[in-house]
């Protein structure tokens, strides 16, 4: 029920399609006959935005071809409620988080809000943001936001429409209203979103698809008090998902609120109990495009989800359930092929993650056996253990997992240290600007700091240089390559764990199981969050999603989930130990330098070095 105080005229407008068109025609006939009546209509529109939308609003829907693609904007009840939320946020000055199913008209909604403020109110400053410039403003492209604004204006009657170069000034990425002095500017997230100074309202469309989401959040916080974050979900590794975990004001627009999509709404559980939530008995469209009567013996799908004949057809058309999770279900957990269980990661975040007890730097010189710890708020070595006389407790054993990067700033070199007896994380280090040789010295010093801890690292890529340096420093409490496929897992003289695709899947899988079973305790927020960045590939391997959303305090420009690899290796290290067996290694292709394998590895190392230099 509309509040007549806020909407004194909207209640006069019929919402039934034919009746609404008749009302529109009659109103326009009177306006064209009587100039004073037209002026009164302008005032009514300013006083009641729902009256304005439902009497003079039109939208564009290309899917209606070959029928007319221009349709009257007649708001549904869920949209009326959504408009109330949007205008309240704009007036009161707070952010609004809008998670939605696809095709709910939300983009048109926030553009109508922008148009109303720009058209009827003075000195408004509004900014439109999308993931690339063409989606913000591209001539003759109906997908662009400014095209839609132009469409809105072009389909208004003369007493509401603004004419170019007379009433308004239209340039690329800008609309200026000469009558009100209000501005609408556009910008893409590939540039500086804060460009152009402050604004009263900022719309961020399809924010889950924005690569630099975290950076955008940071750069726009002081630009405006009111931001509309609008999007469908694209997994949990997005700034949009993480924003939704905060106390931001939320507006949820699910397909089941749409009166056309909810016809025949039902819910059926695995036991066969069916709840009919809508008494619709009209016609629906099946997946062949034919119309038929909603049958009494409809093949209900018993999965416990809200469903309808329309929804069932969409499921049949989708190529994968993930598509439905993204586009319709507002389900971030199912809208990505994630390797780690998102719900478990959230559970660990609330149950196990802690602020570090201390942060600082490891101090050492030529004698790596005698390091010390110097507290510093900006230190990269984080501790979750109380030091005793400046050292970790000596009544336990420690295991150290290490992932090595090039040190060019493209990704982190990372270390994770665990107390083997409690399987709890006690230390973490991450830096993108430390070369493998220097990193090896740091790792050895840290290993001595933790009582000669057992060290395991990724021996591939830059791990070969790292491993050589560890051996040169004389450190020997390390993991040696073994045949993981054999029953006895025979050791060799090759230091390091080589994470080929199959071994990487096994190591990360072991870590995932440990987190799932609660046999390992993860304390680091950053390491825990990085788990959400790992996805399955179509070739049944697991890879980092190369997402650039995370603002990483370590300084890495592109976070590759390196902490997760270090944690996973530490988990493996806690279950393995032993010294190498020297027999049958004299002709091992891994140690000989006169083999094709050795030349192949040298070429691969050169390609990786060149790639890291380009990334830097």
Say which residue the tokens 């409620």 belong to. Answer: 81
Q: Residue 547 pLDDT > 50, yes or no?
A: no
For 391, list phi and psi in degrees, rounded to 5.
Answer: -130, 155
288-to-285, 313, 317, 415 alpha-carbon distances in Å:
8, 9, 10, 56
Residues 159, 38 contacting (CB under 8 angstroms): yes
pLDDT confidence of residue 340 = 86
Sequence-distant (6+) residues with CB within 8 A of 160 are 41, 42, 45, 56, 119
pLDDT digits (tens, 9 = 90+) for 277-322: 876 656 655 555 555 555 767 888 888 899 998 999 999 988 777 7
pLDDT confidence of residue 189 = 82
Taking residues 214-235, what's their average pLDDT? Answer: 92
What DSSP element (H or E) covers 205?
A: strand 201-205
Residues 189, 131 contacting (CB under 8 angstroms): yes
SS (H, E, C) 78-134: HHHHHHHHHHHHHHHCCCEEEEECCCCCHHHHHHHHHHHHHHHCCCCEEEEEECCHH
Task: Report the distance separating Cα 562 and Cα 552, nearest Å.
Answer: 12
pLDDT digits (tens, 9 = 90+) for 489-500: 566 678 999 998
pLDDT confidence of residue 544 = 74
Burial class (CB in 10 A: 0-12, 13-18, 19+), 313: middle
pTM of this prediction exceeds 0.75: no
What DSSP element (H or E) covers 467?
A: helix 463-472
For 100, list phi and psi in degrees, rounded to 5.
Answer: -145, 160
How would you classify the pairing of strands 125-130 and 96-100? unpaired
Taking residues 416-420, what's their average pLDDT? Answer: 97
Sequence-distant (6+) residues with CB within 8 A of 221 are none
Domains in the chain with CATH codes: 1-56 (no CATH), 75-253 (3.40.50.300), 257-336 (no CATH), 350-585 (3.30.420.240)
133-to-128, 137, 155, 220, 432 alpha-carbon distances in Å:
10, 6, 25, 17, 31
- What 3-state class would DSSP assign to 168? strand
457-to-279, 404, 433, 481, 568 alpha-carbon distances in Å:
62, 8, 18, 10, 10
pLDDT confidence of residue 236 = 77
pLDDT confidence of residue 602 = 62
Q: Which of 336-340, 421-425, 601-605 has the highest mean pLDDT?
A: 421-425
Sequence-distant (6+) residues with CB within 8 A of 445 are 362, 364, 368, 371
Answer with the residue of higher pLDDT: 560 or 481: 481
How would you classify the pairing of strands 424-431 and 283-285? unpaired
Answer with the residue of higher pLDDT: 27 or 562: 27
Length of the chain: 616
pLDDT digits (tens, 9 = 90+) for 16-60: 999 999 999 999 999 999 999 999 999 999 999 999 999 999 999
Task: Report the distance separating Cα 67 and Cα 334, nearest Å.
Answer: 36
Q: Quickly state the pLDDT bin for 65 (edges 50, 70, 90).
A: confident
What DSSP element (H or E) covers 230?
A: strand 227-231
Task: Report the distance separating Cα 23 and Cα 40, nearest Å.
Answer: 16
SS3 content of the chain, % helix, strand, coil (to 5): 35, 20, 45
């Amino acid at each position: 029920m509309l509040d007549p105080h806020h909407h004194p005229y909207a209640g006069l407008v019929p919402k039934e399609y034919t009746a609404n068109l008749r009302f529109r025609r009659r109103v326009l006939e009177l306006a064209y006959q009587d100039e004073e009546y037209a002026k009164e209509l302008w005032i009514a529109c300013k006083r009641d935005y729902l009256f304005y939308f439902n009497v003079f609003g039109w939208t564009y829907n290309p899917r209606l071809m070959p029928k007319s693609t221009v349709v009257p904007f007649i708001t549904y009840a869920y949209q009326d409620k959504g408009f109330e939320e949007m205008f309240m946020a704009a007036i009161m000055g707070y952010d609004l988080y809008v998670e939605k199913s696809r095709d709910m008209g939300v983009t048109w909604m926030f553009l109508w809000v922008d148009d109303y403020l720009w058209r009827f109110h003075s000195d408004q400053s509004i900014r439109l943001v999308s993931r690339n410039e063409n989606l913000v403003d591209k001539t003759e492209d109906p997908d662009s936001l400014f095209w839609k604004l132009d469409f809105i204006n072009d389909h208004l009657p003369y007493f509401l429409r603004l004419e170019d170069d007379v009433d308004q000034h239209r340039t690329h990425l800008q609309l200026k209203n000469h009558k009100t002095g209000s501005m609408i500017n556009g910008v893409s997230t590939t540039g500086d979103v804060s460009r152009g100074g402050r604004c009263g309202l900022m719309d961020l469309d399809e924010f889950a698809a924005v690569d630099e989401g975290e950076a955008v959040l940071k750069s726009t916080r002081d630009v405006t008090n009111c931001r509309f974050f609008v999007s469908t979900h694209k997994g949990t590794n997005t700034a949009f998902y993480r924003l939704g975990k905060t106390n931001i004001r939320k507006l949820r627009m699910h397909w089941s609120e749409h009166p056309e999509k909810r016809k025949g709404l039902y819910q059926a559980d695995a036991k066969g109990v069916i709840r009919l939530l809508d008494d619709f008995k009209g016609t629906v469209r099946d997946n062949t495009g034919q119309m038929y009567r909603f049958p009494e013996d409809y093949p209900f799908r018993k999965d416990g989800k809200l469903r309808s004949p329309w929804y069932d057809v969409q499921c049949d058309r989708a190529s994968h359930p993930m598509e439905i999770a993204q586009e319709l279900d507002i389900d971030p957990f199912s809208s990505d092929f994630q390797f780690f269980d998102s719900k478990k990661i959230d559970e660990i975040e609330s149950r196990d993650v802690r602020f570090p007890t201390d942060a600082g730097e490891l101090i050492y010189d030529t004698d790596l056996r005698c390091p010390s710890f110097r507290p510093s708020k900006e230190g990269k070595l984080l501790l979750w253990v109380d030091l005793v006389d400046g050292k970790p407790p000596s009544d336990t054993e420690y295991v150290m997992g290490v992932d090595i990067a090039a040190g060019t700033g493209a990704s982190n070199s990372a270390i994770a240290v665990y107390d083997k007896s409690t399987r709890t994380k006690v230390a973490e280090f991450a830096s993108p600007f430390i070369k493998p040789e220097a990193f090896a010295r740091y790792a050895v010093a840290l290993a001595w700091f933790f009582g000669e801890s057992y060290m395991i690292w990724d021996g591939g890529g830059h791990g070969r240089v790292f491993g050589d340096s560890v051996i040169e420093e004389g450190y020997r409490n390390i993991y040696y390559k073994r045949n993981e496929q054999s029953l006895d897992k025979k050791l060799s003289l090759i230091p390091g764990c080589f994470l080929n695709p199959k071994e990487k899947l096994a190591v990360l899988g072991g870590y995932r199981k440990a987190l799932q079973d609660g046999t390992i305790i993860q304390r680091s927020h950053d390491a825990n969050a990085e788990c959400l960045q790992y996805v399955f590939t179509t070739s049944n391997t697991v890879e980092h999603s190369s997402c650039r959303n995370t603002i990483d305090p370590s300084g890495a420009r592109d976070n590759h989930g390196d902490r997760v690899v270090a944690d996973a290796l530490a988990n493996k290290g806690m279950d393995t130990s032993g010294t190498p067996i020297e027999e049958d290694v004299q002709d091992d292709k891994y140690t000989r330098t006169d083999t094709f394998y050795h030349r192949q590895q040298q070429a691969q190392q050169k390609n990786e070095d060149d790639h890291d230099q380009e990334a830097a």
